[in-house]
Structure 1
Amino acid sequence: MKDFLPISKADMQNRNWDILDFIFISGDAYVDHPSFGPAIICRILEKHGYKVGIIAQPDWKSIDDFKKLGKPKLGFLVSSGNLDSMLNKFTASKKFRHTDSYSPGGHSGHRPDRAVVVYCNRLREIFGKVPIIIGGIEASLRRFAHYDYWSDTIRRSILFDSRADLLIYGMGEKQILEIAAELHQGIEIAAITTVKGTCYVTSNLDYVWDAIEVPSCELVSKNKQSFSEAFKVEYFEQDAIRGKTIVQASGNQYLVQNVPALPLTVEEMDEIYALPYQRTYHPIYEAMGGVPAIQEVQFSLVSHRGCFGGCHFCAIVSHQGRIIQSRSQESIVAEAEILTKLPEFKGYIHDVGGPTANFHVPSCKSQLERGTCREKQCLAPTPCKNLTKSHTDYIELLRALRALPKVKKVFIRSGIRFDYLMAVKDDFLEELCRYHISGQLKVAPEHISEKVTNLMGKSNKSVYVRFADAFKKMNQKINKKQYLVPYFMSSHPGASLKDAVELAEFIRDLNYRPEQVQDFIPTPGTLSTCMYYTGMNPLTGETVYVAKDPVEKQMQRALMQYRDPKNRFIVYKALLKAKREDLIGYGPKCLIRPQEHSVEKHLKNSDVSKKINRKSDRKHD
């Protein structure tokens, strides 16, 4: 099919192509939409004259799928897809996920564990020294020696295990075009060592200048203090303007990370989102039930990239960066007009935003000259005095989209930073409530203990309380019944059982019943993961309590859903352990009713009780 990129020899023949320049191996099903990294990279290469094909979710137990498009002229590009393959497969409790929204029919099992490593080693086995370039979220966040939650070990850079030649970190458009141009000119892949936003392996540092060397892979594997020191440097240098090259030894070789790629200009962003995407999954998946991930994004618009929110559990800082990169209003409106002409469009644009919807401009006017602040956050715990406080451009964009023919409503679902909203004195809250939500607004205070929110990089409880009050009053003003749906996280580093009880009391006072509870998952490359593994804050050196005991984690989670009957017994035991028997009773402030006899009887006969009692004999904290 000429509209989609080639996935077979027959597709190549239809285009009169004998050989491809690049073949993209993806852990996701092929969805030709700008919310999917493989589609963006392949389409921008196509725009610049390269012949590109895609092998999506190859059978890694055989060599046949990897050979079906032949050997590329310039190289293979490899990604696990839109998620780290381990996060895609396992929950926070390391249980197998039975669904995969990036696979046909939503069924799991279509990609291997550590997909990038497996795919690359298959390619080496088949094609020998063909250039292999890895990228995407899995490669990007595993570029240094990193803590791997699923194996509970320190793993070396994914470049070593994959045996790839180059690693692209970040979003990758600038990098891949520069690499492609050099390969096209006949430059050997081993000689491509100066591209910003890439990593490579070398045994010789003679030509690596002005670099910072962090503790070696071997040292960070043995010493948590060294791991923390290495992470701090890696974290602070993730800035395209002021960042430096970083070197990390592993055995007798070195991983070299060049400085990050420069932020995309408005014109470059516009080019990317104007490429000829088909905006849906490949027809081969239709009989299998399609690819569920398209449902949330098919009628959504990406307005920008980057996030200056600085949440410590989020990988955006390490992947997209803190500097906002925006599209022009004309580009976004033009894409919206395309959406309105699609046969499935029902009049609703599902989202307009990015990692955080209301971060539409850089947080500081001088960022593009001097970079982001090294040891200072833009928003938390309090907004910086130099913060650009404006929703003007975003409001104008939303009004332009609402005015389009065939558009009934424009939703905002990609997340609002309420602390930024409260810092800006304009009409955005009214616009939001009046036009862009329908009944509920999801926000993420994450926790309410000040100790915990500080470690999360979030604003404290008082800001959320003020926002909730402002939201309520605004809806009264416009005569609408709309509600906040707050997300909270359990077991984040720093959160003790005492903090979990405090959060449960806050939920009680809100008269809120959380349907979903997010357990903290230590994903590679985040500051919170560093705290989880080392038990210290790498930015300050302070000791951080970490709940790793499965029973305590279960208690923290259950306290957030204390009204659920199936959690009654674990909540009872948690309150006893926290010495908060005052919350067991019939008063209006109590979380659960006494019923001691039935509780104790259940606990004596339950597996939960046995686990709890065994753990209670050990010392914690």
Structure 2
Amino acid sequence: MKNSETGLFLPTTEEEVKAHGFKSLDVILVTGDAYIDHPSFGAALIARLLESRGYKVGIIAQPEGPEDIKRLGKPNLFFGVTSGSVDSMVANYTASRKKRKSDDYTPGGINNKRPDRAVIQYVNWIKQAFKDVKIVIGGIEASLRRFAHYDWWSDRVRKSILLDSKADILVYGMGERAILEIAQRTASGKDLDNIRGTVIWKSSLNVLESEENGLGNVNLRIIKLPSYEEVVNDKRKYAEAYRLMVENTEPFKNVVLVQKHDTRYVIQYPPAWPLTQRELDELYLLPYTRRVHPYYLAKGPVKAIETVRFSITAVRGCFGNCAFCAITNHQSTHVVSRSTESILEEARILTKMPEFRGTIVDVGGPTANMFALSCSVRNTKGQCPKNCLTPDICKMALSSSSKNDAADEFIELLKKVKSIPGVKHVFVGSGIRHDLILASLNADYIISSLVDFTSGQLKLAPEHAHPDVLRIMRKPPVGLFLEFKRRFEEAARKKGQKKYVIGYFIVAHPGEGEKENKYLREFIKKNLGYVPQQVQIFTPTPGTLSTTIYYTGLEPFTGDEVYVEKKDKVRNIFKENIVNLR
């Protein structure tokens, strides 16, 4: 492999380390995905950030054992470990617990490179390969398993992944601030205690409970969650632990959460502060190649890059609080938007790529039309107890970071991106909240404009139709979906375009029994006129409200009992009732 092919990437082999002129590396990141040098992939984003601060960084993607771990040598500072863009158990198994045959993040698409419980496995391999090396775990798998959690695949409550993996420290949420502080402290020989956005364990709470807590705030509160032993033996205690975790994982509250596991204490320090707009701008304009590293591309094409290569992240965070979604507990409800100029600059970078054919497939984020939304309460006091969008939309949820309507700002952004020389088409491929658009003062203009930024079909996620299931899901009434669908398709017809709204649905979610499933079936039959292909069976994944309800049968914020269908046979029938609709 020629150096010219790999020189723009971070090193993945010993030869590449030497080609970069490095004798050794400061940080080595281990990931369950192939090395894709694109900001949509956490390992690449963190690696480029560390590189920008002067650290020598390498990546070992999809290692297959301790010998593979050794190929870049021992890092001067630490190993960083992530399962990749998805939880390894979600990547490896279907909603029926069957092994998946394909993996979009693996060369050739064959699902044979990511081990089950990848974070734990990778840490074990590192410990076999090297003695006395610091190991930091992070990413979606570590972040959402940081406390005792229900694991659907083994049908039991597991301990914190920090203890199970025996890593030194866990980074939760979006880890840029925490990983930089860990690097700085490790380089200067300081300990890794009292870092925002991290979880550690201690054998005693004596120091933590004193006023010398190290966070520079004697008003720091400590809240003890029900212990591991309690949540294993009492589902109400499990639900209580989840509620306390959600209510107090907020940077403005300055709360340290503690959960005892046997004789050890798992300690979560307050979340890291969200990045500023300027910091987010800088992060996404680092020198990513936006390609698969040749070392991995030689093993076969990696499908995941094709859906994001010409996409742009415009916004981070989501205050939707959908019960089944992990984004709120990982990216948080704090929404930060990039500046328009930064987004336009990234679009210009895309137009200079030889492979670019004029289409930017997405400008968005977790929820695209949360771009430019800014709640003054959340920005100064933190997330309030009220849900921003359900059962009603809070007026602050529609507030803009400028004097203009935020929804208008998003449309104007799309128009500016499309006006860049070389750009022929701009589409919105991310999810959107149709209820937010309908609540806008300029809903007709936004919907009409959105037609021009839709590629054939606009995919929305009503998720269900029965009001009781939607309430548990924290989703808006299905009538709003129908209203938006009608207005969008009418606007398309007026423009002479054949564009339609397609719905995503979830079955077997807590709250759905035979009656509710039949209700969904009849709704689709009566109102949609097509058999939906985007139907998934609810998969309980760690860290979500829906998973807590699935395991406990309780809504943790109200204490209400909820019906849960757990038989795989029935869950599969619920899906068949929809996809086999005639």
State the alpha-carbon separation in 2 of the partners of residues 462 and 380 from structure 1. 14
Deviation at 1:363, TM superposition (A): 4.8
Query: Which deviations, in whole Å up to 9, do the C-alpha atoms of 1:339-363 show, x marking residues without a partner?
Result: 0111111100000000011111345
Report the equivalent of 1:202: 202
Amino acid at match of 2:393: P
Report the equivalent of 2:403: none
Deviation at 1:366, TM superposition (A): 2.1
Amino acid at match of 1:400: K
State the alpha-carbon separation in 2 of the partners of residues 520 and 152 from structure 1. 15
Contact 1:92 1:521 in 2 (8 A): yes
Report the equivalent of 1:400: 416
Report the equivalent of 1:602: none
Report the equivalent of 1:612: none
2:60 pairs, out of 51, 55, 63, with 55
Amino acid at match of 1:531: I
Max Rg structure: 1
Report the equivalent of 1:8: 13
Do residues 383 (structure 1) and 393 (structure 2) align?
A: yes
Q: What secondary structure sits across from 1:442 in the alignment?
A: strand
Report the equivalent of 1:314: 325
Report the equivalent of 2:213: none
Query: Which deviations, in whole Å up to 9, do the C-alpha atoms of 1:410-462 show, x marking residues without a partner?
Result: 000111111111111222111101x2013211000000111000000100122
Report the equivalent of 2:462: 445
2:154 pairs, out of 151, 154, 163, with 151
Q: Give every structure 1 segment of 4 or more consecutive aligned residues whose post-TM-superposition deviation is greater than 3 Å.
A: none
Q: What secondary structure sits across from 1:254 in the alignment?
A: strand
State the alpha-carbon separation in 2 of the partners of residues 278 and 285 from structure 1. 14
Amino acid at match of 1:436: F
Amino acid at match of 1:466: E
1:339 pairs, out of 350, 356, 373, with 350
State the alpha-carbon separation in 2 of the partners of residues 237 and 470 from structure 1. 40
Amino acid at match of 1:22: V
State the alpha-carbon separation in 2 of the partners of residues 360 and 239 from structure 1. 21
Amino acid at match of 1:539: F
State the alpha-carbon separation in 2 of the partners of residues 222 and 163 from structure 1. 24
Do residues 115 (structure 1) and 126 (structure 2) align?
A: no
Greater CA deviation, 383-392 or 30-39? 383-392
Greater CA deviation, 178-187 or 522-531? 178-187
Deviation at 1:474, TM superposition (A): 1.8
Report the equivalent of 1:261: 272
2:107 pairs, out of 104, 108, 132, with 104
2:82 pairs, out of 79, 84, 88, with 79
Report the equivalent of 2:574: 556
Contact 1:323 1:362 in 2 (8 A): no
Report the equivalent of 1:289: 300
Deviation at 1:124, TM superposition (A): 1.6
Deviation at 1:243, TM superposition (A): 4.9
Amino acid at match of 2:536: Q
State the alpha-carbon separation in 2 of the partners of residues 333 and 516 from structure 1. 32
Report the equivalent of 1:569: none
Q: What secondary structure sits across from 1:293 in the alignment?
A: helix
Report the equivalent of 1:349: 360
State the alpha-carbon separation in 2 of the partners of residues 293 and 386 from structure 1. 36
1:140-219 equivalent positions in 2, closer than 5 A: 140-187=143-190, 191-209=191-209, 210-219=221-230
2:309 pairs, out of 276, 287, 298, with 298
Report the equivalent of 1:496: 513
Contact 2:136 2:167 in 1 (8 A): yes
Q: Percent identity, please.
A: 47
1:407-422 equivalent positions in 2, closer than 5 A: 407-422=423-438
Query: Which deviations, in whole Å up to 9, do the C-alpha atoms of 1:496-530 show, x marking residues without a partner?
Result: 11001011001101212112311100000000000
With over 3 angstroms needed to count, the CA separation of the structure-2 counterparts of 1:516 and 1:461, relative to structure 1, is closer
Contact 1:358 1:416 in 2 (8 A): yes
Report the equivalent of 2:25: 20
Q: What secondary structure sits across from 1:556 in the alignment?
A: helix
Deviation at 1:271, TM superposition (A): 1.0
Q: Which has the higher contact order (CA 8 A, sep 6+)?
A: 2
Report the equivalent of 1:579: none
Calculate the aligned-residue CA RMSD, in Å. Answer: 1.2
Contact 1:243 1:259 in 2 (8 A): yes
Report the equivalent of 1:432: 450
Query: Which deviations, in whole Å up to 9, do the C-alpha atoms of 1:43-66 show, x marking residues without a partner?
Result: 110100001111111112xx2111
Do residues 373 (structure 1) and 384 (structure 2) align?
A: yes
Do residues 541 (structure 1) and 521 (structure 2) align?
A: no
2:69 pairs, out of 66, 70, 73, with 66
Contact 2:398 2:436 in 1 (8 A): no
Amino acid at match of 2:305: I
State the alpha-carbon separation in 2 of the partners of residues 243 and 471 from structure 1. 44
Deviation at 1:368, TM superposition (A): 1.2
State the alpha-carbon separation in 2 of the partners of residues 41 and 386 from structure 1. 32
Report the equivalent of 1:43: 48
Q: What secondary structure sits across from 1:501 in the alignment?
A: helix
State the alpha-carbon separation in 1 of the partners of residues 576 and 20 from structure 2. 57
Amino acid at match of 2:576: A
Do residues 514 (structure 1) and 525 (structure 2) align?
A: no
1:540-619 equivalent positions in 2, closer than 5 A: 540-563=558-581
Report the equivalent of 2:218: none
State the alpha-carbon separation in 1 of the partners of residues 196 and 509 from structure 2. 33
Query: Which deviations, in whole Å up to 9, do the C-alpha atoms of 1:56-102 show, x marking residues without a partner?
Result: 11112xx2111111111111111110000000000000001000011
Structure 1: where are the runs of 5+ without partners? 564-590, 592-621
With over 3 angstroms needed to count, the CA separation of the structure-2 counterparts of 1:72 and 1:507, relative to structure 1, is same
State the alpha-carbon separation in 2 of the partners of residues 422 and 351 from structure 1. 21
State the alpha-carbon separation in 1 of the partners of residues 306 and 252 from structure 2. 37
State the alpha-carbon separation in 1 of the partners of residues 67 and 580 from structure 2. 52
Q: What secondary structure sits across from 1:358 in the alignment?
A: helix
Deviation at 1:31, TM superposition (A): 0.6
TM-score between the two structures when normalised by the length of structure 2? 0.94
State the alpha-carbon separation in 2 of the partners of residues 261 and 417 from structure 1. 27
State the alpha-carbon separation in 1 of the partners of residues 126 and 53 from structure 2. 25
Contact 1:21 1:74 in 2 (8 A): yes
Query: Which deviations, in whole Å up to 9, do the C-alpha atoms of 1:278-332 show, x marking residues without a partner?
Result: 1010012333322110000000000011001110000001100001111111111
Contact 1:37 1:136 in 2 (8 A): yes
TM-score between the two structures when normalised by the length of structure 1? 0.88
Query: Which deviations, in whole Å up to 9, do the C-alpha atoms of 1:143-178 show, x marking residues without a partner?
Result: 000000110010000000111011000111111111
Greater CA deviation, 286-295 or 226-235? 286-295
